[in-house]
Amino acid sequence: MLRASLRWNYEEDRIDTENLLSFKSYGNTRSRKIKQLLPVTRKATGSGVRFSYLGVPGSVSRGDPIWLDCGYDLEGDELYSVKWYKDNVEFYRFLPSDIPSAQMYSLDGVFLDLLRSNATHAFLYTSDFDTEGTYGCEVSTEIPSFRTIKAGKELRVHG
């Protein structure tokens, strides 16, 4: 396990992360504008995150359940968050370092089953005409890379 101490760089108002490959944030305690950080095991970092697939059906019948699938390859980086949007409005987020890891936000036409949703899937237990729209998945990696990718697909609802 790589152990490292964090030093605040007062001239640049940031954390010195030289020789640190990754670390996780824990809790809400703040010290000099930063959350408490804990180094994790050393691993090789990749070139960044990329999508392997985005599963949003093109059309569904009103009342159908819908699985939204977000397949990604972190390429050696650590996952920070996965967020789902309908028409650019966030309705679900998954942050593995948070407790609880999953949160949902109320949005017309989005009938999210939080217990069946996770880091790669969002499950809508039913659909109506307000469910129609563009669904997007956004994936972000942890520091030091902080890479974010987002993709979306149109979903139509028919009677």
CATH code, domain with 61: 2.60.40.10
Whether residue 80 is contained in a domain is answered as: yes
Q: Is the CB of residue 112 less than 8 Å from the CB of residue 124?
A: yes
Alpha helices by DSSP H, 46-119: none
Digit-coded pLDDT (tens) for 24-34: 333 333 332 22
Whether residue 93 is contained in a domain is answered as: yes
Residue identified by tokens 């699985």 is 67
Strand-by-strand arrangement of the 59-61 sheet: 59-61, 148-158, 133-141, 79-86, 89-94, 102-104
Half-sphere exposure of residue 23: CA atoms within 13 angstroms, side-chain side: 19
- Name the domain count of the chain: 1
* pLDDT for residue 40: 29
Residue 85 pLDDT greater than 50, yes or no:
yes
Whether residue 119 is contained in a domain is answered as: yes
Whether residue 7 is contained in a domain is answered as: no
Whether residue 77 is contained in a domain is answered as: yes
Whether residue 33 is contained in a domain is answered as: no
* pLDDT for residue 48: 80
Digit-coded pLDDT (tens) for 60-69: 999 999 999 9
pTM for this entry = 0.71
Whether residue 62 is contained in a domain is answered as: yes
Residue 142: give the domain boundaries.
50-154
Tell me how far apart the alpha carbons of residues 116 and 26 are, in angstroms, rounded to a whole number: 25
Which comes out higher in pLDDT, residue 28 or 145?
Answer: 145
Q: Is the CB of residue 123 less than 8 Å from the CB of residue 131?
A: no
